[in-house]
């Protein structure tokens, strides 16, 4: 997976955070962004979600994000409309900081494709 230079990456990340803050009227952090992506991928709009459903939405988001690099692929949509992914290849092992950067990079790719 190819990452751009650190300065470019940080600039793009901060621009995305500013854009999301302007759109939603509050500061969003990684988990909040994952939740939003999960809701988007579920496609049923905003509603009340249980704690377990919120965790599931963040899992959906993570799988969707890593599907952009071929680590996961959509397996099926269940009877309630929830997507289920399957692992296609293992995600490279990385320390916590590297994992966060990989996730942020995928989030940037996701929003680039949404525009």
Note the pLDDT of residue 1. 45
What are the average pLDDT values for consecutive 10-residue runs of the chain, which has 115 residues?
A: 71 95 93 95 90 96 96 96 96 90 95 84
The model's pTM is 0.88
Question: Which domain covers residue 42, as residue numbers?
Answer: 3-114
Number of domains in the chain: 1
SS (HEC) of the chain: CCCCCHHHHHHHHHHHHHHHHHHHCCCCCHHHHHHHHHHHHHCCCCCCCCHHHHHHHHHHHHHHHHHCCCCEEEEEECCCCCEEEEECCCCCCCCHHHHHHHHHHHHHHHHHHHC
């Amino acid at each position: 997976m190819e990452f751009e230079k650190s300065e470019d990456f940080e600039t793009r990340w901060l621009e995305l955070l500013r854009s999301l803050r302007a759109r939603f009227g509050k500061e969003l952090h990684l988990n909040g962004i994952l939740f939003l992506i999960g809701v988007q991928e579920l496609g049923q709009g905003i509603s009340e979600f249980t704690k377990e459903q919120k965790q599931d939405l963040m899992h959906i988001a993570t799988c969707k994000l890593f599907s952009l690099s071929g680590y996961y692929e959509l397996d099926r949509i269940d009877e309630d409309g929830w997507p289920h992914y399957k692992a296609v290849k293992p995600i490279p092992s990385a320390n916590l900081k590297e994992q966060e950067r990989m996730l942020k990079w995928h989030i940037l790719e996701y929003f680039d494709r949404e525009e």
